[in-house]
């Protein structure tokens, strides 16, 4: 047990590893010490412990499109803390959260009129999966117990989301506690057919037929829902081919399978519309959200459901709890107050349109890297992009890690998974900042071994 010190020494304590950090190579951070510490943030930049300003290339973890330390949000947070800092959401409501549910329902596709709040993407996704199972059971189709995900999908780290997710390192250690009855369709990405596509690839709608394969294998009467990210974010921005999401919708409707869009990354403007569902003009039965709704400042997530689903639960004795599920912090008033201010700012400053306007700037900038020999693929949609680097011989992931570490010295906080770099810059970015970001990335890639 590390000794408690009277005077806090961040460098020394970090090296001791008392903070077991999430999704982190902990020993590497301990070794690098203060080079891996952020101390403040303002606008589109973080400041590292040595004073270096770092452009926030992924809006935190896709969650801070408005940038950091906006005094309007800080003020809303303070005011709400003074008024109603916490209120339980079990059997009793509070005005900010009531108003937020209405506001989010109004932003969502028509007919998706009810919001269940959680505190993270993982909680939102597990909630949606439980709603799907409960919905079918209440309709007398309890045999629909299977949940379908997609290879390379990321739906957080709860047991449901992990099981439906399709990222191997997140799954292999926990095989014994996977939710039963889960299966996966293939992802629609095929490098040989869609490499260097700008926006939606023309090839790949037929990959949606993989759901028909699973229906043929398991029978539709055993399948409750499929959960997909409209754009697969964490796995490096895999963009849905033209017609692909539409086809998934058709197959789900045909077989009575619920379609859940995980919009934890794409929700609240990243695709240049409130939700990706609106960008791609495909309406799911449920949308999960988190991250940008509060600009990442207070944790919040949730599930937006169709009226059909909500009404199916609103049966039985009136004094009975209809859905035995919820979190202590579901609908936290601080998060709700922050969400209102974030959505106010997005509206007043037309930030969703701005994200859309920046899309061609980011597209042109990232695709300019195509001539760099070790760049293997470049993809983009909305204010997101992914760049795959060819792995160094015998050392997969080494180039990605080197990019991240060198980025810290060159003014960029990069997000690299394996040898893929993902971009999701703040909506408040300027075109110059995006071009500078890519220019620095070019320099860093060229300098790689
Ligand atoms: C699509 C998607 N779903 C779910 C999650 C999990 O969200 P959280 O980390 O808030 O639990 C993430 C996180 O990046 C995500 O990208």
> What would the pLDDT profile of 57-111 be if each residue is shown by its tens digit?
999 999 999 999 999 999 999 999 999 999 999 999 999 999 999 999 999 999 9
For residues 17-27, average pLDDT: 97
- Residue 422 is predicted with a pLDDT of 98
**Ligand 1 atom closest to 229 (CA):** 1
Quote the CA–CA distance of 372 and 387 in Å, as a whole number: 11
Say if ligand 1 is within 6 A of residue 200 CB. no
- Residue 449 is predicted with a pLDDT of 72
Burial 54-68 (b: 16+ CB within 10 A, else e): bbbbbbbebbbbbbb
- Residue 3 is predicted with a pLDDT of 61
Ligand 1 pocket check: which of 291, 302, 386 to mutate, most ligand atoms within 8 Å of Cβ?
A: 291
pLDDT, one tens digit per residue, over 195-253 is: 999 999 999 999 999 999 999 999 999 999 999 999 999 999 999 999 999 999 999 99
CA 356 – ligand 1 centroid, Å:
22
Separation in Å, CA 34 to CA 24, 399, 419: 15, 22, 24
In the predicted structure, residue 147 carries a pLDDT above the cut 90: yes
CATH architecture of 37-69+350-447: Alpha-Beta Complex (3.90)
Give me the long-range contacts of 172-176 (CB less than 8 A, separation at least 24).
none
Under the banding of pLDDT at 50, 70 and 90, the label for residue 1 is low
CA 296 – ligand 1 centroid, Å:
12
Find how far residue 48's CA is from the centre of its chain: 24
CA 63 – ligand 1 centroid, Å:
10
Q: Which of 275, 265, 288 is nearest to 127 (CA)?
A: 288
In the predicted structure, residue 6 carries a pLDDT above the cut 80: no
Quote the CA–CA distance of 389 and 395 in Å, as a whole number: 12
What are the tokens at 74?
């800080």
pLDDT, one tens digit per residue, over 260-311 is: 999 999 999 999 999 999 999 999 999 999 999 999 999 999 999 999 999 9
**Ligand 1 atom closest to 120 (CA):** 10
Q: 91 in the Ramachandran plot: left (φ > 0), alpha (ψ -120 to 50) or beta?
A: left
Yes or no: say if 122 and 158 are a contact pair by the CB < 8 Å rule: yes
Q: Give the three-state DSSP class for 395.
A: strand
Yes or no: say if 118 and 302 are a contact pair by the CB < 8 Å rule: yes
Say if ligand 1 is within 6 A of residue 158 CB. no
Say if ligand 1 is within 6 A of residue 229 CB. yes
Yes or no: say if 385 and 202 are a contact pair by the CB < 8 Å rule: no
Yes or no: say if 212 and 160 are a contact pair by the CB < 8 Å rule: no
Ligand 1 pocket check: which of 159, 265, 292 to mutate, most ligand atoms within 8 Å of Cβ?
A: 265
pLDDT, one tens digit per residue, over 130-139 is: 999 999 999 9
Ligand 1 pocket check: which of 64, 121, 294, 384 to mutate, most ligand atoms within 8 Å of Cβ?
A: 121
In the predicted structure, residue 421 carries a pLDDT above the cut 80: yes
CA 160 – ligand 1 centroid, Å:
13
Mean pLDDT over all residues of the chain?
97
Say if ligand 1 is within 6 A of residue 155 CB. yes
- Residue 55 is predicted with a pLDDT of 98
CA 393 – ligand 1 centroid, Å:
31
- Strands of the sheet containing 38-42, edge to edge, are 38-42, 45-48, 53-56, 412-413
- Spell out the domain ranges in the chain: 37-69+350-447, 74-348
CA 44 – ligand 1 centroid, Å:
21
Say if ligand 1 is within 6 A of residue 125 CB. yes
**What does CATH list as the number for 74-348?**
3.40.640.10
pTM of the model: 0.97
CA 46 – ligand 1 centroid, Å:
22
In the predicted structure, residue 5 carries a pLDDT above the cut 90: no
Quote the CA–CA distance of 96 and 102 in Å, as a whole number: 10
Say if ligand 1 is within 6 A of residue 153 CB. no
- Residue 7 is predicted with a pLDDT of 81
Q: Give the three-state DSSP class for 283.
A: coil
Yes or no: say if 165 and 232 are a contact pair by the CB < 8 Å rule: no
pLDDT, one tens digit per residue, over 316-360 is: 999 999 999 999 999 999 999 999 999 999 999 999 999 999 999
- Residue 319 is predicted with a pLDDT of 96
Quote the CA–CA distance of 333 and 190 in Å, as a whole number: 44
Say if ligand 1 is within 6 A of residue 287 CB. no
CA 229 – ligand 1 centroid, Å:
10
Say if ligand 1 is within 6 A of residue 210 CB. no
| DSSP string of 41-55, one letter each residue | EEBTEEEETTS-EEE
CA 225 – ligand 1 centroid, Å:
19
pLDDT, one tens digit per residue, over 185-209 is: 999 999 999 999 999 999 999 999 9
For residues 254-261, average pLDDT: 98
Say if ligand 1 is within 6 A of residue 244 CB. no
User: Phi, psi at residue 201, to the nearest 5°?
Assistant: -65, 150
DSSP 8-state class, residue 392: B
pLDDT, one tens digit per residue, over 368-420 is: 999 999 999 999 999 999 999 999 999 999 999 999 999 999 999 999 999 99
In the predicted structure, residue 365 carries a pLDDT above the cut 80: yes
**Ligand 1 atom closest to 232 (CA):** 1
Under the banding of pLDDT at 50, 70 and 90, the label for residue 54 is very high
Burial environment of residue 418 by CB neighbours within 10 A (0 to 12, 13 to 18, 19 or more): middle
**Ligand 1 atom closest to 121 (CA):** 7
- Residue 4 is predicted with a pLDDT of 59
């Amino acid at each position: 047990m590390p000794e408690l010190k009277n005077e806090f020494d961040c460098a020394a304590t970090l090296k001791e590893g008392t903070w077991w950090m999430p999704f982190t190579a902990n020993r590497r951070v301990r070794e690098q010490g203060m080079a891996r510490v952020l101390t403040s943030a303002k606008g589109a930049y973080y400041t590292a412990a040595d004073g270096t300003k770092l452009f926030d290339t992924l809006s935190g973890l896709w969650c801070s499109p408005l940038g950091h330390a906006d005094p309007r949000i800080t003020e809303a947070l303070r005011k709400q803390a003074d008024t109603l800092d916490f209120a339980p959401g079990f059997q009793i409501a509070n005005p900010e959260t009531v108003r937020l549910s209405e506001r989010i329902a109004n932003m969502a596709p028509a007919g998706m009129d009810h919001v269940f709040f959680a505190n993270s993407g993982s909680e939102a996704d597990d909630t949606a999966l439980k709603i799907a199972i409960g919905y079918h059971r209440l309709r007398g189709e309890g045999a629909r117990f299977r949940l379908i995900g997609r290879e390379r999908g990321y739906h957080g780290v709860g047991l449901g989301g992990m099981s439906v997710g399709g990222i191997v390192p997140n799954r292999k250690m926990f095989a014994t506690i996977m939710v039963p009855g889960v299966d996966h369709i293939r992802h629609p990405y095929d490098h040989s057919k869609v490499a260097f596509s700008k926006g939606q690839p023309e090839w790949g709608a037929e990959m949606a037929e993989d759901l028909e394969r699973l229906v043929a294998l398991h029978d539709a009467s055993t399948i409750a829902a499929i959960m997909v990210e409209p754009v697969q974010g964490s796995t490096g921005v895999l963009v849905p081919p033209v017609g692909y999401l539409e086809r998934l919708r058709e197959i789900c409707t045909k077989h009575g399978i619920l379609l859940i869009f995980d919009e934890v990354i794409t929700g609240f403007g990243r695709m240049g519309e409130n939700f990706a569902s609106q960008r791609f003009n495909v309406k799911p039965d449920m949308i999960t959200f988190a991250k940008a709704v509060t600009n990442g400042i207070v944790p919040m997530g949730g599930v937006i459901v169709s009226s059909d689903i909500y009404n199916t639960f609103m049966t039985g004795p009136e004094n009975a709890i209809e859905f035995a599920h919820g979190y202590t912090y579901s609908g936290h008033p601080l998060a709700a107050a922050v969400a209102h201010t974030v959505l106010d700012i997005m509206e007043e400053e037309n930030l969703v349109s701005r994200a859309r306007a920046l899309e061609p700037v980011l597209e042109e900038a990232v695709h300019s890297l195509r001539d760099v020999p070790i760049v293997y693929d470049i993809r983009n949609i909305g204010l997101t992009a992914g760049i795959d680097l060819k792995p160094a011989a015998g050392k997969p992931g080494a180039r990605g890690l080197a990019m991240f570490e060198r980025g810290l010295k060159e003014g960029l906080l990069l997000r690299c998974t394996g040898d893929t770099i993902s971009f999701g810059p703040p909506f408040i970015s300027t075109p110059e900042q995006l071009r500078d970001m890519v220019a620095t990335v070019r320099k860093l890639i060229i300098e790689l071994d």
